Amino acid sequence: MLHVENLTASIGDKQILKGLDLDVGSGEVHAIMGPNGSGKSTFAHALAGREGYEIGGTVTLDGADLLEMSPEERAAAGIFMGFQYPVEIPGVNNMYFLRTALNSVRRARGEAEIGARDFLAVAKEAMSLVEMKQDFLDRAVNAGFSGGEKKRNEILQMAVMQPRLAVLDETDSGLDIDALRVIAGGVNALRSPERSMIVITHYQRLLDYIKPDFVHVLVDGRIVESGDHTLALHLEDHGYADFVNTELNDAPERPLAGASS
Amino acid sequence: MSETATNETVTSESRRQIEELTERGYQYGFSTDLDTDVAPPGLNEDVVRLISAKKDEPEWLLEWRLSAYEAWTKMDEPDWAKLEIAPIDYQAISYWAAPKNKPVLDSMDDVDPEIREMFDKLGIPLHEQKMLSNVAVDAIVDSVSVTTTFKASLAEAGVIFCSFSEAVQDHPDLVREHLGSVVPVRDNYFAALNSAVFSDGSFCYIPKGVRCPMELSTYFRINSQNTGQFERTLIVAEDDSHVSYLEGCTAPQRDENQLHAAVVELVAKDRAEIKYSTVQNWYPGDENGVGGIYNFVTKRGRAHTDAKISWTQVETGSAITWKYPSVILQGDRSVGEFYSVALSSQRQQADTGTKMIHIGKDTTSTIISKGISAARGQNTYRGLVKVMRSAENARNYTQCDSLLLGKECGAHTIPYIEAKNPSAQIEHEASTSTVGEDQLYYCRQRGMTEEDAMSMIVNGFCREVFNELPMEFAVEAQRLLSVSLEGSVG
């Protein structure tokens, strides 16, 4: 479904992604782990279409060339990004924002727009996934939200947008264990054979709740190791030291427990 | 659901307007030869006398005009505003033209395509478009009753609402008592000029204890068709009365006169409340700033004991805006409010704000100003909060937020505070922000186009002010802002 080949990204002289390859099949959940500065967030933004990067390589979604598309076209194609730092938009009602977002992609896909009443039903169902109260919709987008509320709002948006591919960038950062449980519950409820996910995280902790089909280790702009969820457990015990400051071909032998598709 | 309701309101309103217009056509007829009646350019005492004579005014009003003219000749144009203005030749302007009907067009096809496009973007119903462009319309028979009902219910409540000229003839005592009582003839250069030569405007009187049964907006929008460049408005709300008044229109307004100097005076007597809302969309000029309207406005209200005056303005038009709607908080516990959105795009310059003069005890004022600068626009908030020695326990809260869209525009905040009573509590908050790349990217990732995202963010920025507008106008004002910002993105 998603095919990434030799993806490079740089800002000015600084190259951040140095030839990243990844294939994600329909319905699969892939975790991407890596130390600070390895390029995890840049990878997410490269998929979502953030401007300001020099991008090379190939990225296709269901065969369509993603790199040719604007961020809003990618959203219409089914890409959703859960932001590490969700942006505040003062004065814009959360419900209005959500409905505008949904209707924007519906319009772009040639589907009928959804009316206020029908949307409320959609929003209510989505809110129950992340255990949100009704008044949440009446507040301004992320303005004055706690860290946990912002992240829950991201998952709420994902539930409303029903994306083909969700890229969740450090959705677990800044969450206490209860909030983490709620958010993971929401994400798991949204898993489906038609929906793929890329979960970016520093910590194995999140993967106890969202069990990935594949785990990839991203170091210095490349995926240096891929495996199943046991790879995450290994990282938990040993950290990234095995991969950092080491040439790729010097990496220790470790059984590959599953191949990336 | 609310959107539907709004459309219905607008439609019935436009019907009223069409009717009113048709009726006026009959009233004045088309055969009169007033058209040729134009004073030669230039201003002197004779011109002032001519204007007064043409309008058949009483002697006291002529004297009043003459005193204003005399004051004006001794005054200089104010130069303290942050505005770059080409010199204005006051002797090149003709100060009197007889009222004339705008040329009637056969169909919308005869209307400037640029204006038509704007109408469509603003979502103005076709009937109203025709009314605004003076396209001939077939009067709908049953709408006669709408106008009649409208006038009847005002009359029943005892509300006087008419043109200023009519008020001078029909209610001279009321006019004489209040004219110049809030903005004296010598107040400032442009107010003096207006007082000497004002053409027409509106007069509104709400008797004691009366709550005006409707927003005085529709009617005004008809009246505003030909009020000319020196407009005079006077609103008097007697004890315990209430009125909400709306001037202007979101539709683009062009005018052959570049200089506009209006004066608005509000008198809110004990426990009365006046809410005055403005949407100003005069022609801003082309991208080089050529041809736009110069808008020099003096607006001020006097609030007596326990009275409340609230100004709400959405200023998106004009090449130059010089405007400081103010409140004199004279009575104890009186309340003044100012809510403003001012947008300066292209080459527009706006120097606008308010003055809150606290005289009475326990007086309260609130100022919420939202300035938006785009393209090469310059936007200045200039405000004065003055607490007199007599104003025990006065309070003011001021919030000035500026939003910058682009790198060549400017935002300036110039608050003046003078407190002569130590019990005063004055709070001032100011912020300047840009529409962040992050915000735009976030919205676009959720599927919105860049222009939709920009419009949403800017409208969110103005939310607190739009909330103060009458519902139907809040919707139009949002559209207006979006349309005005088109092409400012990126």
- B106 vs A: CB within 8 A: no
| B24 vs B319, residue with greater confidence | B319
pLDDT score of B276 more than 90: yes
Closest partner residue to A87 among B438, B447, B464, by Cβ? B438
Closest A-chain CA to B435: A89
Contact (CB, 8 A) for B449 and A76: no
Q: Count other Cβ atoms within 10 Å, centred on residue B393.
A: 16
Closest partner residue to A104 among B442, B447, B462, by Cβ? B447
> For chain A, how many structural domains are there in total?
1
Instruction: Specify the pLDDT at position B152.
Output: 77
Contact (CB, 8 A) for B323 and B297: yes
Instruction: Specify the pLDDT at position A257.
Output: 45
CA distance A249 to chain B (A): 38
Compute CA distances B361 → A205, B366, B387, whole Å: 62, 16, 10
Instruction: Specify the pLDDT at position B426.
Output: 96
Contacting residues of A for B443, CB less than 8 Å apart: 89, 97, 101
Beta-carbon separation of A89 and B443 below 8 A:
yes
Contacting residues of A for B461, CB less than 8 Å apart: 90-91
Which of A72, A118, A161, A164 best probes binding to B when mutated, by most B CB atoms within 10 angstroms?
A: A72
Does residue A107 lie in a domain region? Answer: no
How far is it, in rounded angstroms, from Cα B183 to Cα A140?
41
Beta-carbon separation of A92 and B448 below 8 A:
no
Contacting residues of B for A72, CB less than 8 Å apart: 444-445, 447-450
How far is it, in rounded angstroms, from Cα B225 to Cα A3?
62
Handedness of CA A155, A156, A162, A163 (dihedral sign): negative
Closest partner residue to B442 among A76, A87, A90, by Cβ? A87
Closest A-chain CA to B454: A89
Compute CA distances A200 → A45, A85, A173, whole Å: 12, 13, 10
Least-confidence region, from A249-258, B286-295, B426-435, B465-474: A249-258
- A69 vs B: CB within 8 A: no
- B462 vs A: CB within 8 A: yes
Token digits for A107?
A: 């319009």
Element (H, E) at A215: strand A214-219
pLDDT-derived band at B256, boundaries 50, 70, 90: low
Contact (CB, 8 A) for B307 and B356: no
Q: What are B302's strand-pairing partners?
A: B267, B328
Beta-carbon separation of A92 and B456 below 8 A:
yes
How far is it, in rounded angstroms, from Cα B232 to Cα B65?
13
Q: Of chain B residues 418-437, which have a CB less than 8 A from chain A?
A: 436-437
Give me the percent of chain A exceeding a pLDDT of 90: 72
Rg (alpha carbons) of chain A, rounded to whole number: 18
Closest B-chain CA to A86: B442
- A75 vs B: CB within 8 A: yes
How far is it, in rounded angstroms, from Cα B160 to Cα B171?
9
How far is it, in rounded angstroms, from Cα A82 to Cα A168?
4
Residues in chain A: 261
CA distance B388 to chain A (A): 35
Does residue A30 lie in a domain region? Answer: yes
Beta-carbon separation of B448 and A101 below 8 A:
yes
Residues in CB range of B357: below 8 A, 6 or more apart: B326, B327, B328, B329, B384, B386, B388
Q: Count other Cβ atoms within 10 Å, centred on residue A41.
A: 17
Q: Of chain B residues 41-100, which have a CB less than 8 A from chain A?
A: none
Token digits for B285?
A: 């000029």
Contacting residues of A for B489, CB less than 8 Å apart: none
Instruction: Specify the pLDDT at position A182.
Output: 92
Instruction: Tell me the pLDDT tens digit for each residue of B174-197.
Output: 999 999 999 999 999 999 999 999
Instruction: Tell me the pLDDT tens digit for each residue of B351-407.
Output: 999 999 999 999 999 999 999 998 888 999 999 999 999 999 999 999 999 999 888
Round the average pLDDT of chain B to a whole number and report it.
83
Which of A41, A92, A93 best probes binding to B when mutated, by most B CB atoms within 10 angstroms?
A: A92
pLDDT score of B4 more than 60: no
pLDDT score of B111 more than 80: no
Instruction: Specify the pLDDT at position B288.
Output: 74
Closest partner residue to A101 among B438, B447, B459, by Cβ? B447
How far is it, in rounded angstroms, from Cα B129 to Cα B120?
9
**Mean local confidence (pLDDT), B28-45:** 57
Contact (CB, 8 A) for A17 and A25: no
CA distance B125 to chain A (A): 22
pLDDT score of A259 more than 90: no
Beta-carbon separation of A91 and B462 below 8 A:
yes
How far is it, in rounded angstroms, from Cα A209 to Cα A190?
13
Beta-carbon separation of A92 and B460 below 8 A:
yes
CA distance A156 to chain B (A): 12
Compute CA distances B151 → B147, B154, B162, B214, B473, whole Å: 6, 5, 11, 11, 22
pLDDT score of B22 more than 90: no
**Mean local confidence (pLDDT), A64-77:** 97
How far is it, in rounded angstroms, from Cα B312 to Cα B341?
8
Compute CA distances A85 → A39, A210, B265, B395, B439, whole Å: 16, 20, 50, 38, 11
Handedness of CA B117, B118, B123, B128 (dihedral sign): negative
Closest partner residue to A89 among B439, B445, B464, by Cβ? B439
pLDDT score of A48 more than 90: yes
pLDDT-derived band at A54, boundaries 50, 70, 90: very high
How far is it, in rounded angstroms, from Cα B403 to Cα B409?
10
Beta-carbon separation of B447 and A90 below 8 A:
no
How far is it, in rounded angstroms, from Cα B72 to Cα A113?
59
pLDDT score of A169 more than 70: yes
Question: Roughly how many angstroms between the first and final C-alpha of chain A, as a whole number?
Answer: 10
Which of B429, B432, B444 best probes binding to A when mutated, by most A CB atoms within 10 angstroms?
A: B444
Contact (CB, 8 A) for A221 and A15: yes
CATH number at residue A62: 3.40.50.300
Beta-carbon separation of A51 and B437 below 8 A:
yes
Residues in chain B: 490
Round the average pLDDT of chain A to a whole number and report it.
90
**Mean local confidence (pLDDT), B237-261:** 82
How far is it, in rounded angstroms, from Cα B337 to Cα B309?
6
Q: What angle do CA A224, A225, A229 make, to 5 degrees?
A: 150
Closest partner residue to A104 among B1, B452, B462, by Cβ? B452
Closest B-chain CA to A98: B446
Most confident segment among B42-56, B216-230, B288-302, B412-426: B412-426
A111 burial type by CB count under 10 A (0-12 exposed, 13-18 middle, 19+ buried): exposed
Q: What are A33's strand-pairing partners?
A: A201, A217
Instruction: Specify the pLDDT at position B113.
Output: 75
Helices (H), ranges, chain A: 40-48, 71-77, 94-108, 116-129, 147-161, 177-189, 205-209, 229-238
Token digits for A176?
A: 């206490």
Closest B-chain CA to A73: B447
- B167 vs A: CB within 8 A: no
Beta-carbon separation of B444 and A105 below 8 A:
no
How far is it, in rounded angstroms, from Cα B350 to Cα B486?
19
Beta-carbon separation of A100 and B456 below 8 A:
yes
Token digits for B104?
A: 């009637």
Contact (CB, 8 A) for B470 and B246: yes
Beta-carbon separation of B460 and A89 below 8 A:
yes
Give me the percent of chain B exceeding a pLDDT of 90: 49
**Mean local confidence (pLDDT), B204-230:** 71
Beta-carbon separation of B446 and A51 below 8 A:
no
Contacting residues of B for A87, CB less than 8 Å apart: 436, 438-439, 441-442
Does residue A43 lie in a domain region? Answer: yes
Closest partner residue to B448 among A48, A83, A104, by Cβ? A104
pLDDT score of A102 more than 80: yes
Instruction: Specify the pLDDT at position B23.
Output: 38
How far is it, in rounded angstroms, from Cα B65 to Cα B190?
13
Instruction: Specify the pLDDT at position B490.
Output: 47
How far is it, in rounded angstroms, from Cα A96 to Cα A83?
19
Contacting residues of B for A49, CB less than 8 Å apart: 444-445
Instruction: Specify the pLDDT at position B198.
Output: 93
Query: Which residue type sits at A37?
Result: G
Q: Of chain A residues 213-242, which have a CB less than 8 A from chain B?
A: none
Instruction: Specify the pLDDT at position A142.
Output: 94
- Provide the residue range defining the domain that includes A12: 2-87+164-250
Instruction: Specify the pLDDT at position B249.
Output: 66
Beta-carbon separation of A92 and B452 below 8 A:
no
Beta-carbon separation of A48 and B445 below 8 A:
yes
Question: What DSSP designation does A9 have?
Answer: E
Beta-carbon separation of B445 and A92 below 8 A:
no
Q: Compute CA A149 distance to the chain's CA centroid, rounded to the nearest angstrom.
A: 17
pLDDT-derived band at A167, boundaries 50, 70, 90: very high
Least-confidence region, from A109-123, B66-80, B84-98, B123-137: B123-137
Strands laid side by side in the B273-280 sheet: B242-248, B273-280, B308-315, B335-344, B364-374, B395-405, B425-434
pLDDT score of A139 more than 60: yes
